[in-house]
Amino acid sequence: DAKTTQPPSMDCAEGRAANLPCNHSTISGNEYVYWYRQIHSQGPQYIIHGLKNNETNEMASLIITEDRKSSTLILPHATLRDTAVYYCIVRVELGANNLFFGTGTRLTVIP
Amino acid sequence: NAGVMQNPRHLVRRRGQEARLRCSPMKGHSHVYWYRQLPEEGLKFMVYLQKENIIDESGMPKERFSAEFPKEGPSILRIQQVVRGDSAAYFCASSPRGSSTDTQYFGPGTRLTVL
Protein backbone atom coordinates (compact mmCIF):
# COMPACT_ATOMS: atom_id res chain seq x y z
CA ASP A 1 0.00 0.00 0.00
CA ALA A 2 1.19 3.52 -0.75
CA LYS A 3 2.73 5.54 2.07
CA THR A 4 0.89 8.63 3.29
CA THR A 5 2.23 11.83 4.84
CA GLN A 6 0.15 14.07 7.09
CA PRO A 7 1.00 17.11 9.21
CA PRO A 8 1.32 16.09 12.85
CA SER A 9 -1.10 18.69 14.17
CA MET A 10 -3.53 21.42 13.15
CA ASP A 11 -5.84 23.88 14.88
CA CYS A 12 -9.19 25.06 13.62
CA ALA A 13 -11.63 27.62 15.01
CA GLU A 14 -15.03 26.27 15.96
CA GLY A 15 -17.57 26.80 13.19
CA ARG A 16 -14.94 27.13 10.49
CA ALA A 17 -14.04 24.54 7.90
CA ALA A 18 -11.22 22.17 8.83
CA ASN A 19 -9.08 21.15 5.85
CA LEU A 20 -6.82 18.21 6.56
CA PRO A 21 -4.25 17.41 3.87
CA CYS A 22 -2.74 14.07 3.00
CA ASN A 23 0.08 13.36 0.59
CA HIS A 24 0.13 9.97 -1.14
CA SER A 25 2.45 10.63 -4.08
CA THR A 26 3.16 6.93 -4.74
CA ILE A 27 -0.49 5.92 -4.97
CA SER A 28 -1.37 3.55 -7.79
CA GLY A 29 -4.50 3.30 -9.89
CA ASN A 30 -6.28 0.68 -7.84
CA GLU A 31 -5.63 2.21 -4.42
CA TYR A 32 -8.39 3.88 -2.45
CA VAL A 33 -7.98 6.73 0.01
CA TYR A 34 -9.70 6.16 3.36
CA TRP A 35 -10.10 8.51 6.30
CA TYR A 36 -10.68 7.45 9.89
CA ARG A 37 -10.54 9.43 13.10
CA GLN A 38 -9.95 8.49 16.72
CA ILE A 39 -11.47 10.66 19.39
CA HIS A 40 -9.47 10.43 22.61
CA SER A 41 -8.87 6.68 23.02
CA GLN A 42 -12.21 5.64 21.55
CA GLY A 43 -12.35 3.15 18.70
CA PRO A 44 -11.46 4.57 15.29
CA GLN A 45 -14.43 5.94 13.39
CA TYR A 46 -14.78 5.59 9.64
CA ILE A 47 -15.33 8.93 7.92
CA ILE A 48 -15.18 8.60 4.15
CA HIS A 49 -13.27 7.02 1.28
CA GLY A 50 -12.74 7.56 -2.45
CA LEU A 51 -10.86 6.37 -5.49
CA LYS A 52 -10.79 9.16 -8.07
CA ASN A 53 -13.83 11.35 -7.71
CA ASN A 54 -14.57 13.75 -4.91
CA GLU A 55 -16.91 12.30 -2.33
CA THR A 56 -19.28 13.81 0.22
CA ASN A 57 -21.30 12.32 3.02
CA GLU A 58 -23.01 13.60 6.14
CA MET A 59 -19.71 13.86 7.99
CA ALA A 60 -17.23 15.28 5.52
CA SER A 61 -16.04 15.85 1.97
CA LEU A 62 -13.04 14.24 0.35
CA ILE A 63 -11.25 16.11 -2.41
CA ILE A 64 -8.75 14.05 -4.43
CA THR A 65 -6.44 15.87 -6.84
CA GLU A 66 -6.60 14.95 -10.49
CA ASP A 67 -3.21 13.21 -10.38
CA ARG A 68 -4.36 11.46 -7.15
CA LYS A 69 -1.10 12.27 -5.40
CA SER A 70 -2.81 14.13 -2.60
CA SER A 71 -6.20 14.60 -1.00
CA THR A 72 -7.94 16.84 1.50
CA LEU A 73 -10.55 15.92 4.06
CA ILE A 74 -12.93 18.79 4.72
CA LEU A 75 -15.07 19.09 7.82
CA PRO A 76 -17.34 21.96 6.73
CA HIS A 77 -18.26 23.36 10.16
CA ALA A 78 -15.91 22.04 12.80
CA THR A 79 -17.23 21.57 16.33
CA LEU A 80 -15.40 20.84 19.56
CA ARG A 81 -16.43 17.19 19.19
CA ASP A 82 -14.36 16.98 16.01
CA THR A 83 -11.16 17.25 18.06
CA ALA A 84 -9.42 13.96 17.29
CA VAL A 85 -6.53 12.30 15.49
CA TYR A 86 -7.34 11.92 11.80
CA TYR A 87 -5.78 9.13 9.78
CA CYS A 88 -5.41 9.03 6.01
CA ILE A 89 -4.99 5.43 4.83
CA VAL A 90 -4.38 4.09 1.35
CA ARG A 91 -5.75 0.63 0.60
CA VAL A 92 -5.20 -1.42 -2.51
CA GLU A 93 -7.86 -3.56 -4.11
CA LEU A 94 -7.00 -7.25 -3.70
CA GLY A 95 -4.31 -6.32 -1.20
CA ALA A 96 -3.89 -7.02 2.48
CA ASN A 97 -6.99 -6.66 4.60
CA ASN A 98 -5.41 -4.85 7.52
CA LEU A 99 -5.49 -1.09 7.92
CA PHE A 100 -2.16 0.65 8.42
CA PHE A 101 -2.53 3.54 10.86
CA GLY A 102 0.34 5.99 10.62
CA THR A 103 0.77 8.89 13.02
CA GLY A 104 -2.16 10.91 11.65
CA THR A 105 -3.00 14.57 12.21
CA ARG A 106 -4.08 15.72 15.64
CA LEU A 107 -6.84 18.27 14.97
CA THR A 108 -7.74 20.60 17.80
CA VAL A 109 -10.91 22.64 17.40
CA ILE A 110 -10.64 25.84 19.38
CA PRO A 111 -13.69 27.58 20.85
CA ASN B 1 -28.50 -1.53 14.46
CA ALA B 2 -25.92 -2.35 17.12
CA GLY B 3 -22.33 -1.64 16.29
CA VAL B 4 -19.29 -3.73 17.12
CA MET B 5 -19.38 -4.73 20.77
CA GLN B 6 -16.39 -5.50 22.92
CA ASN B 7 -16.20 -6.69 26.49
CA PRO B 8 -14.99 -6.17 28.98
CA ARG B 9 -14.26 -2.48 28.42
CA HIS B 10 -11.60 -2.54 31.13
CA LEU B 11 -9.64 -5.55 32.31
CA VAL B 12 -7.04 -5.71 35.06
CA ARG B 13 -4.75 -8.71 35.34
CA ARG B 14 -1.69 -9.55 37.37
CA ARG B 15 1.44 -10.74 35.67
CA GLY B 16 1.17 -14.40 34.71
CA GLN B 17 -2.63 -14.49 34.51
CA GLU B 18 -4.67 -14.99 31.38
CA ALA B 19 -6.69 -12.31 29.61
CA ARG B 20 -9.69 -13.04 27.41
CA LEU B 21 -11.10 -10.27 25.25
CA ARG B 22 -14.37 -10.70 23.40
CA CYS B 23 -15.66 -9.09 20.24
CA SER B 24 -19.13 -9.37 18.71
CA PRO B 25 -19.17 -8.05 15.13
CA MET B 26 -21.90 -5.96 13.62
CA LYS B 27 -24.96 -7.87 12.50
CA GLY B 28 -24.34 -9.41 9.11
CA HIS B 29 -20.55 -9.12 9.37
CA SER B 30 -18.53 -12.32 9.24
CA HIS B 31 -15.02 -10.84 9.17
CA VAL B 32 -13.22 -9.70 12.30
CA TYR B 33 -9.94 -7.85 12.80
CA TRP B 34 -7.99 -7.25 15.99
CA TYR B 35 -5.68 -4.27 16.52
CA ARG B 36 -3.55 -3.22 19.47
CA GLN B 37 -2.73 0.32 20.53
CA LEU B 38 0.11 0.78 22.97
CA PRO B 39 0.11 3.99 25.04
CA GLU B 40 0.86 7.06 22.91
CA GLU B 41 1.16 4.97 19.73
CA GLY B 42 -0.98 4.25 16.68
CA LEU B 43 -3.06 1.14 16.13
CA LYS B 44 -1.20 -1.93 14.92
CA PHE B 45 -2.88 -4.83 13.12
CA MET B 46 -2.74 -8.19 14.86
CA VAL B 47 -5.02 -10.74 13.20
CA TYR B 48 -7.84 -11.15 10.69
CA LEU B 49 -10.41 -13.93 11.06
CA GLN B 50 -13.47 -15.25 9.33
CA LYS B 51 -15.85 -17.68 10.98
CA GLU B 52 -13.77 -20.68 12.10
CA ASN B 53 -10.72 -19.54 10.13
CA ILE B 54 -7.65 -17.43 10.77
CA ILE B 55 -6.90 -15.65 7.50
CA ASP B 56 -3.95 -13.43 8.42
CA GLU B 57 -2.09 -13.49 11.73
CA SER B 58 0.99 -11.66 10.53
CA GLY B 59 0.73 -9.08 13.31
CA MET B 60 0.29 -11.50 16.19
CA PRO B 61 3.17 -12.04 18.62
CA LYS B 62 4.45 -15.58 18.16
CA GLU B 63 3.96 -16.63 21.77
CA ARG B 64 1.18 -16.30 24.34
CA PHE B 65 -1.35 -14.72 21.94
CA SER B 66 -4.12 -16.59 20.14
CA ALA B 67 -7.39 -15.69 18.48
CA GLU B 68 -10.48 -17.54 17.41
CA PHE B 69 -13.82 -16.79 15.80
CA PRO B 70 -16.07 -19.81 16.31
CA LYS B 71 -19.13 -20.65 14.27
CA GLU B 72 -21.31 -19.45 17.11
CA GLY B 73 -20.46 -16.67 19.52
CA PRO B 74 -17.99 -13.83 19.65
CA SER B 75 -14.41 -13.68 18.53
CA ILE B 76 -11.94 -14.18 21.37
CA LEU B 77 -8.44 -12.75 21.71
CA ARG B 78 -6.58 -14.69 24.36
CA ILE B 79 -3.36 -13.62 26.02
CA GLN B 80 -1.69 -16.18 28.25
CA GLN B 81 0.74 -15.36 31.04
CA VAL B 82 0.35 -11.62 30.61
CA VAL B 83 3.29 -9.27 31.14
CA ARG B 84 3.36 -5.54 31.82
CA GLY B 85 4.16 -4.86 28.16
CA ASP B 86 0.76 -6.30 27.18
CA SER B 87 -0.95 -3.29 28.79
CA ALA B 88 -2.69 -1.59 25.88
CA ALA B 89 -6.03 -0.89 24.26
CA TYR B 90 -7.24 -3.74 22.08
CA PHE B 91 -9.68 -2.85 19.34
CA CYS B 92 -11.81 -5.14 17.26
CA ALA B 93 -13.25 -4.23 13.87
CA SER B 94 -15.66 -6.04 11.59
CA SER B 95 -16.62 -5.93 7.92
CA PRO B 96 -19.33 -7.65 5.89
CA ARG B 97 -17.00 -9.21 3.33
CA GLY B 98 -13.36 -10.06 3.03
CA SER B 99 -12.52 -7.49 0.38
CA SER B 100 -9.34 -5.55 1.07
CA THR B 101 -11.25 -2.33 0.45
CA ASP B 102 -14.19 -3.23 2.70
CA THR B 103 -14.89 -0.58 5.29
CA GLN B 104 -13.97 -1.78 8.77
CA TYR B 105 -16.11 -0.63 11.69
CA PHE B 106 -14.49 -0.52 15.10
CA GLY B 107 -15.66 -1.33 18.57
CA PRO B 108 -14.97 0.79 21.67
CA GLY B 109 -11.98 -1.29 22.69
CA THR B 110 -10.83 -3.19 25.76
CA ARG B 111 -8.25 -1.52 27.95
CA LEU B 112 -6.00 -4.11 29.48
CA THR B 113 -3.89 -3.17 32.47
CA VAL B 114 -1.31 -5.63 33.74
CA LEU B 115 -0.17 -5.04 37.30
Helix-, strand-, coil-residue percentages of chain A, each rounded to 5: 5, 50, 50
Q: How confident is the model at residue B99 (pLDDT cuts 50, 70, 90)?
A: confident
Q: How confident is the model at residue B2 (pLDDT cuts 50, 70, 90)?
A: confident
> N- to C-terminal Cα distance for chain B?
37
Question: Which of A32, A87, A99 faces B45 most closely, judged by CB atoms?
Answer: A99
Closest approach of A27 to chain B, Cα-based (Å): 15
Report CB contact under 8 Å: B100, A95.
yes
Q: How confident is the model at residue A102 (pLDDT cuts 50, 70, 90)?
A: confident
Q: How confident is the model at residue A94 (pLDDT cuts 50, 70, 90)?
A: low
Chain B contact for A53 (CB, 8 A cutoff): no
Share of chain B above pLDDT 70, in %: 99
Starting at the edge strand that comes first in sequence, how are the strands of the sheet with A18-23 ordered? A18-23, A70-75, A61-64, A55-56
The tens digit of pLDDT for each residue in B26-85 reads 998 999 999 999 988 889 999 999 998 999 999 999 999 999 999 999 999 999 999 999
Rounded to whole angstroms, the Cα distance separating A54 from A34 reads: 12
